[in-house]
Amino acid sequence: MVIDENKVVTLHYKLQRDNENGELVEETFGSKPLVFLYGTGQMLPEFEKQLAAKAVGEEVAFGLKSTDAYGEYNPEAVVSVPKAALGIESEADAEKILVVGNTLPLRDQQGRNFTGIVKEVDPQNVTLDLNHPMAGVDLYFSVKVEDVRPATESELEHGHVHGPGGHQH
């Protein structure tokens, strides 16, 4: 069976910055594999494109330009917001949470979740970088396909994998 729409894919990967000699970002070899439902928008489209028609046991290595991964770095996505807008209850909590380099979970007015990285803190405001942490970075993947199976009706209905490596209902 090969990877295509509505298949559950189990794979191991190594992700490096820029190219095959770049800094290691993360790796699943030697730990739990990545399990996802192919073709449902869970993964980067270009990542999925590189895996199309691959079979169990196949290995593939490929690069993704930043524009095909998490986009270019956008300096306009670095914003200053009032501390009060972050809903932090006390100054003691603020001192623990509003630390340069911390990633904060945020929610917009439409209820969508996203993150911001604290860049600067002053008495009234916090400067947050809302870019994805990998924005502006070319990515290089080394992948080994471990398993491919048809998705169940329930998985297709819910839009995610159930069972080992997936969502547990």
Shared domain check, 146 and 118: no
Shared domain check, 107 and 28: no
Q: Tell whether 168 is covered by a domain.
A: no
Of the pLDDT bands very low, low, confident and very high (cuts 50, 70, 90), residue 68 is very high
Q: Tell whether 2 is covered by a domain.
A: no
Q: What pLDDT shows up at residue 165?
A: 73
Shared domain check, 100 and 60: no
Are the beta carbons of 9 and 35 closer than 8 angstroms?
yes
Q: Tell whether 1 is covered by a domain.
A: no
Assess whether pLDDT exceeds 70 at residue 169: no
Q: What is the pLDDT of residues 75-122, one digit of tens each?
A: 999 999 999 888 888 888 888 999 999 999 998 889 889 999 999 999
Residue 52's CATH number: 3.10.50.40
Domain coverage including residue 141:
7-70+136-158
Beta bridge partners of 15: 26, 141
Q: Give buried/exposed letters for 70-105 (b at 16+ CB in 10 A, else e).
A: beeeeeeebeeeebeebebeeeeeeeeebeeeeebe
Q: φ, ψ for residue 81 (rounded to 5)?
A: -130, 150
Q: Tell whether 166 is covered by a domain.
A: no
Are the beta carbons of 66 and 138 closer than 8 angstroms?
yes
Shared domain check, 66 and 24: yes
Neighbour count for residue 62 (Cβ, 10 Å)? 15
Shared domain check, 86 and 99: yes
Q: What is the pLDDT of residues 18-60, one digit of tens each?
A: 999 999 999 999 999 999 999 999 999 999 999 999 999 999 9
Supply the DSSP string of 74-123, one letter for each residue. -GGGEEEEEGGGGT---HHHHHHH--TT-EEEEE-TT--EEEEEEEEE-S
What is the spatial distance between Cα 45 and Cα 43, in angstroms, rounded to a whole number? 6
Shared domain check, 63 and 25: yes
Q: What pLDDT shows up at residue 93?
A: 85
Shared domain check, 84 and 39: no
Shared domain check, 100 and 87: yes
Q: What pLDDT shows up at residue 91?
A: 85
Shared domain check, 116 and 82: yes
Shared domain check, 15 and 51: yes
Shared domain check, 120 and 92: yes
Grouping H, G, I as helix, E, B as strand and the rest as coil, residue 34 is: strand
Q: Tell whether 88 is covered by a domain.
A: yes
Shared domain check, 26 and 66: yes
Of the pLDDT bands very low, low, confident and very high (cuts 50, 70, 90), residue 168 is low
State which amino acid sits at residue 79: V
Q: Tell whether 167 is covered by a domain.
A: no
Residue 122's CATH number: 2.40.10.330
Provide the number of structural domains found in the chain. Answer: 2
